A = this chain, B = another copy of it.
Amino acid sequence: MTLAPSEDRFLFAEERPAEVAQHGVWKILIVDDEPEVHSVTRLALHDVVFAGRGLELISAHSAAEAEEVLHRHGDIAVILLDVVMETDNAGLELIRRIRDTMRNSATRIILRTGQPGQAPESDVIIRYDINDYREKTDLTSSHLFTAIYGALRAYRDINALEHHQDGLEEVIAATSALFECQTLRAFTRTAEDRFPKLLAKTTAGKFTNIDMIWARRINKDGFDVIAATGSLRPLAGCTKFADLPEMLIQRFEELEKAGSLVNGTWLGGLYRESSTLEYVFYMEGLHALTPTDRNLLDVYMRQATSAFDNLVLTQQIDETQREIVYRLGEAVESRSQETGNHVKRVAEISRLIARGAGLSPRDCDIIFYASPLHDVGKIAIPDAILNKAGKLTPEEWEIMKTHAIKGYEMLSNSERPILKAAAVIARDHHEKWDGSGYPEGRRGEEIDIMGRITAVADVFDALGSDRCYKKAWPLDDVLALFRHERGKHFDPHLVDILFDNLEAVTEIQQRYSD
């Protein structure tokens, strides 16, 4: 995906940014030790409306009380602050606490003094981070109105900028979280979890129950739901566009034409990746979003779509790799008359034992990818020997045994961890714990742990499966053999792990039965 150039960044460019009706009030804190100042101020300001919102006037009669109010209310827009209260400069000290201790730089502070001599104007404005300085005598009703109006305007602008900044930071954090996801499931969970957090940063405020669906369309009819919340969550399993509710089909078709739409109570966007692939995003019930908010959502969706693309791509390469290994592992096995899903089961059982043995997640993945190639050296064994009906002569057996080292040679000298592991597994999977195996007669921990694990998985699964030359052994007989060979053929610790996980192993064998 390519991001649109910056001039197209606004999702809804046709609309002009407009003042959106705001809910709530602007909180004004009056701090003064003279009761009369409070009543006069209330009288002057009681019917003020700014940007569609009225004022809530809160009174504090000392700096200490004011500080308490500020702790309770994080959203005071303007403080009308007296200087002389508990002490000669209680008001001035409060300013420092607000700006430095409480780290509140958004609230506008208008200093009102009755004794200008106490706090000389130019001195105070320089030393204290206030936004206006007025003498009480000078502050007529209409001047007070002007001062409050100007302060509210600045507060609104700063607040909007801080809000947008918070939103952008959430976009960055949410994008990071999405790019970290390694599985589609984790991705969906993260997208659903982060989305309300992002909306909470918009002017629309806090949401816990959003009706949202985000999906991928392939060839117009293939439909994958990436994330869905609220009343749209039941659509999560939908894989066909035509199976969607009629209402959604209509809206997606509108989006198809318009690219993006805000339509009363719903909002949607369409992100086209190619002629066959596009992403659609649809959300209900948020008519209060400003153009800035919608821009934020748009930026987020572009980033999130890019993260999703990335994950799908990586997963596809990954699954292709696994399938190539399975197919070729199977092809080799089928030449020696072993067919079906043996290599897949070996991969799964090996990973299970590796986890039980406490290998790192990365090593568990590596053995999962590499173990299907354990018999690859059989490519080099003549079929007269490989598929001989009777018992092998000692000479033939020597040739047969070379498949371990031939497999190692085919795969070694690679820089790739999976191929390195596959080479070692090919070499060591016929070694035995007591040193009686081949090709080198290594013993105990001299045998690579991945080789020891694959040996257990390979023999366990081979004994339990039908082959052209034998029937599957009953499970009890297989277990008896492993008990007997514990510490002889097999690493005793790994046999214990196998026994501890028999249920999961059986489940794997059923899932990938021949």
Contact A149 B125 (CB under 8 A): yes
- Docked CA distance A145–B126 (Å): 10
Shortest distance in angstroms between A496's beta carbon and chain B's nearest beta carbon? 29
Chain B residues whose CB sits within 8 angstroms of the CB of A330 once the complex forms:
410
Binds B, one of A318-326, A388-396, A484-492: A318-326
12 residue pairs A–B, Cβ–Cβ below 8 Å: A105-B157, A154-B158, A161-B161, A168-B169, A172-B172, A175-B175, A176-B303, A314-B314, A317-B317, A324-B419, A327-B414, A383-B384
Is A146 located at the chain interface by the 8 A CB criterion?
yes
Is A212 located at the chain interface by the 8 A CB criterion?
no
Q: Which residues of A contact B (CB under 8 A)?
A: 1-3, 6, 105, 121-122, 125-126, 129-133, 138, 142-143, 145-147, 149-150, 153-154, 157-158, 161-162, 164-165, 168-169, 171-173, 175-177, 179-180, 299, 302-303, 306-307, 310, 313-314, 316-321, 323-325, 327-328, 330-332, 334-335, 376, 379-380, 382-384, 410-411, 414, 416-419
- Docked CA distance A505–B335 (Å): 35
Closest chain B residue to A325 by CB distance? Answer: B324
Contact A320 B323 (CB under 8 A): no
- Docked CA distance A142–B124 (Å): 11
Chain B residues whose CB sits within 8 angstroms of the CB of A158 once the complex forms:
154, 157-158, 161
Chain B residues whose CB sits within 8 angstroms of the CB of A384 once the complex forms:
383-384
Contact A3 B121 (CB under 8 A): no
Contact B131 A154 (CB under 8 A): yes
Contact B121 A376 (CB under 8 A): no
Chain B residues whose CB sits within 8 angstroms of the CB of A121 once the complex forms:
142-143, 145-146
Closest chain B residue to A335 by CB distance? Answer: B379
Contact A149 B168 (CB under 8 A): no
- Docked CA distance A329–B153 (Å): 72
- Docked CA distance A150–B302 (Å): 40
CB contact under 8 A between A310 and B3, given known A157-B158, A416-B320: no
Contact B122 A145 (CB under 8 A): yes
Most buried by B among A2, A125, A382: A125
Contact A179 B142 (CB under 8 A): no
Shortest distance in angstroms between A187's beta carbon and chain B's nearest beta carbon? 13
CB contact under 8 A between A414 and B105, given known A169-B168, A379-B379: no
Contact A150 B125 (CB under 8 A): yes
Contact B323 A414 (CB under 8 A): yes
Of B172, B313, B379, which one neighbours A168 at CB under 8 angstroms?
Answer: B172
Shortest distance in angstroms between A195's beta carbon and chain B's nearest beta carbon? 17
Shortest distance in angstroms between A454's beta carbon and chain B's nearest beta carbon? 17
Chain B residues whose CB sits within 8 angstroms of the CB of A132 once the complex forms:
132, 146-147, 150
Contact B150 A130 (CB under 8 A): yes
Most buried by B among A138, A179, A302, A410: A179
Closest chain B residue to A411 by CB distance? Answer: B327
CB contact under 8 A between A321 and B331, given known A165-B161, A303-B172, A306-B179: no
Chain B residues whose CB sits within 8 angstroms of the CB of A313 once the complex forms:
314
- Docked CA distance A314–B324 (Å): 17
Shortest distance in angstroms between A208's beta carbon and chain B's nearest beta carbon? 21
CB contact under 8 A between A323 and B416, given known A380-B334, A382-B383: yes
Chain B residues whose CB sits within 8 angstroms of the CB of A129 once the complex forms:
153
Contact B419 A327 (CB under 8 A): yes
Contact A331 B383 (CB under 8 A): no
- Docked CA distance A333–B320 (Å): 22
Shortest distance in angstroms between A219's beta carbon and chain B's nearest beta carbon? 14
CB contact under 8 A between A416 and B173, given known A122-B146, A313-B314, A331-B410: no
- Docked CA distance A145–B146 (Å): 18
- Docked CA distance A207–B334 (Å): 64
- Docked CA distance A419–B330 (Å): 14
- Docked CA distance A99–B303 (Å): 31
- Docked CA distance A133–B416 (Å): 72
Task: Identify the 3 closest CB pairs spanning chains A and B, nearest first.
Answer: A161-B161, A168-B168, A321-B321
Chain B residues whose CB sits within 8 angstroms of the CB of A417 once the complex forms:
320
- Docked CA distance A219–B100 (Å): 44
Closest chain B residue to A299 by CB distance? Answer: B172
Shortest distance in angstroms between A21's beta carbon and chain B's nearest beta carbon? 17
Given contacts A179-B310, A317-B317, 5 further A-B contacts (CB under 8 A): A131-B150, A132-B146, A133-B146, A176-B306, A335-B380
Of B133, B299, B316, B324, which one neighbours A324 at CB under 8 angstroms?
Answer: B324
Shortest distance in angstroms between A322's beta carbon and chain B's nearest beta carbon? 9
Chain B residues whose CB sits within 8 angstroms of the CB of A176 once the complex forms:
3, 302-303, 306
